[in-house]
Structure 1
């Protein structure tokens, strides 16, 4: 970058501009180790795509999996793949080949997708907690309360809610004048982008934090109440039935923890730990966006016999098809 360019991009220039592209730093402070992140992230992306594709194909093709619980899991898998695919390809380009430039439009589209599908994921996990509550606490009424037709409605509500709350955030961000185009992050995260503005971003920051808190205030208490009622009901079960009841919830609790605990940790870092290195914040944010998508198909595939059976059926059908072709 020339001295003239540096002057134009300096935050001291309060006139602002709309850049044609941004520069993604990656993980600041760990630039020398980017290549070491590339291989495990590539592995994570491959496992995410393969695992979730197998899970989706299993639910689609095996009739015994055409049940609300498995349809909700397939919704989660689809959301996971969109979330990973909106972040990882560009991140891998940064780490493998130092391709750090991203166009203005691509950056804001990435920001929109990441925040929308993080909200969708939260909504689906909340619906899954309700599904487990009804299954454990009202098993006789489960077929009439949680039906296959309810699942598309849950998907539509989760997506509509996420778009409704994220769209104003994106519109507020896209209208600000920028004094720099170097994003100190590994993807176009909302607050990392608006920090490049020459103007006051208090409204953007407040809205972004408000959205996170509002969604959490809706979803986390709902999940907490569902599992409190499940726990109360299970403790009244005969001892031989308790383990079976708990086992139906273990996978969901683990998946939910992978998603929500890093979010809460990240919010705590922003609120209380100003001396924590920036790369720690960025790694934590990446953790809650990238770990659940790779872990979910593995967890559900291991924990749920019907999904394992569905995957085996897929392999058997493919093997039979190949034999017929010969």
Structure 2
């Protein structure tokens, strides 16, 4: 039974690793398209950071399971456990905080355009906002690692029972604060933008509404996977089922978001299509050159064979005379 369960986990793990290998080039293409336009708008910077956070999230989660299932490591050190804890929460915080920043940026640009332009005209305005958000996520992740190190895990010491729930609720409060802040901002910003754009049909409002729904579709993958896992893991205690749910939550944003941004963002879509056509033209040119070389080789072989046959015939005629 245990052997069959281990084999099932390896097969499932291999499938999701294959999906990860597909999602990494997709996110790399999105990031390359954003940098191709030199990040001329803050939204391209946020999309590049979101793709980077989604990729790091799936790599961190799958690598943790890889060490246990594929590498067959049943025991890890305490420092490795803390490093995994830091990596998981850091990548998750960057995911949700980057999404939160995207909604704040769009809401700010629509409802307070003058102050928004004053900040963005300043060199590095969007970069400063990104650095602040990334620093907040980093500090939250570090706090989650520092709390376990302050506890004493030794037979000669006793942990007070009333202290552990306090730490647990503090950590849980940080997680729900980030999730709740991002979810509330997404719903409130979308509702305000839809209400404003409904009153006017100008081209700028239509574009803002298009961008708003693009962000909403992208963040839906994060929240749906998170809610489904929290609900199902609470009511179902099946190890294999939990294992599959965690892997789905790790790869779904990295697969869904590049498709959403690639299809709905004009700058990214045009760049990806142009790059694909160039690669297709290069492949067609190489194939054509290869066909020409093959035809020339065939002609040379035929010419060589004909020359040898002609010489053999001439030598045979000379021998007769």
> Tell me, what secondary structure is at the counterpart of 1:261?
helix
**Mapped pair 1:293 → 2:254:** yes
2:197 alignment partner in structure 1: 234
Q: Choose which of 85, 88, 92 in structure 1 pairs with 2:59.
A: 85
Q: Structure 2 matches for 1:262-281, cutoff 5 A?
A: 262-268=225-231, 273=234, 276-277=237-238, 279-281=240-242
**After superposition, what is the alpha-carbon deviation per residue over 1:78-102, rounded to whole angstroms, capped at 9, x for unaligned?**
2222222222234235444534454
- Measured at CA, do residues 254 and 244 of structure 1 come closer, stay the same or move farther in structure 2, by a change above 3 Å? same
Q: Structure 2 matches for 1:1-326, cutoff 5 A?
A: 31-63=6-38, 65-96=39-70, 98-137=72-111, 143-144=117-118, 146=120, 149-176=124-151, 200=161, 201-238=164-201, 245-268=208-231, 273=234, 276-277=237-238, 279-315=240-276
Higher RCO (CA 8 Å, separation ≥ 6 residues): 1
Q: What TM-score, normalized by structure 1, do the two folds share?
A: 0.70
Instruction: Provide the rounded CA distance (Å) in 2 between the counterparts of 1:146 and 1:256.
Output: 24
- Measured at CA, do residues 168 and 239 of structure 1 come closer, stay the same or move farther in structure 2, by a change above 3 Å? closer
> Tell me, what secondary structure is at the counterpart of 1:66?
coil
- Measured at CA, do residues 241 and 319 of structure 1 come closer, stay the same or move farther in structure 2, by a change above 3 Å? closer
Q: CA deviation at 1:292?
A: 0.8
Larger radius of gyration: 2
Deviates more, 1:162-171 or 1:226-235: 162-171
**Runs of at least 5 residues in structure 1 that lack an aligned partner in the other structure:** 1-28, 180-196
| Contact kept in structure 2, 1:34 and 1:96, CA below 8 Å | no
Q: What TM-score, normalized by structure 2, do the two folds share?
A: 0.71
> Tell me, what secondary structure is at the counterpart of 1:238?
coil
How many pairs does the alignment contain? 277
More helix, by proportion: 2
Instruction: Provide the rounded CA distance (Å) in 1 between the counterparts of 2:64 and 2:229.
Output: 22
> Tell me, what secondary structure is at the counterpart of 1:88?
helix
Instruction: Provide the rounded CA distance (Å) in 2 between the counterparts of 1:234 and 1:130.
Output: 17
> Tell me, what secondary structure is at the counterpart of 1:169?
helix
Q: CA deviation at 1:245?
A: 4.7
**Runs of at least 5 residues in structure 2 that lack an aligned partner in the other structure:** 290-321
CA-atom RMSD in angstroms: 3.7
- Measured at CA, do residues 124 and 321 of structure 1 come closer, stay the same or move farther in structure 2, by a change above 3 Å? same
| Contact kept in structure 2, 1:169 and 1:204, CA below 8 Å | no
Instruction: Provide the rounded CA distance (Å) in 2 between the counterparts of 1:256 and 1:229.
Output: 17
**After superposition, what is the alpha-carbon deviation per residue over 1:140-186, rounded to whole angstroms, capped at 9, x for unaligned?**
8764455672322232122221222222221222354569xxxxxxx
Instruction: Provide the rounded CA distance (Å) in 2 between the counterparts of 1:307 and 1:129.
Output: 19
- Measured at CA, do residues 104 and 316 of structure 1 come closer, stay the same or move farther in structure 2, by a change above 3 Å? farther
> Tell me, what secondary structure is at the counterpart of 1:263?
helix
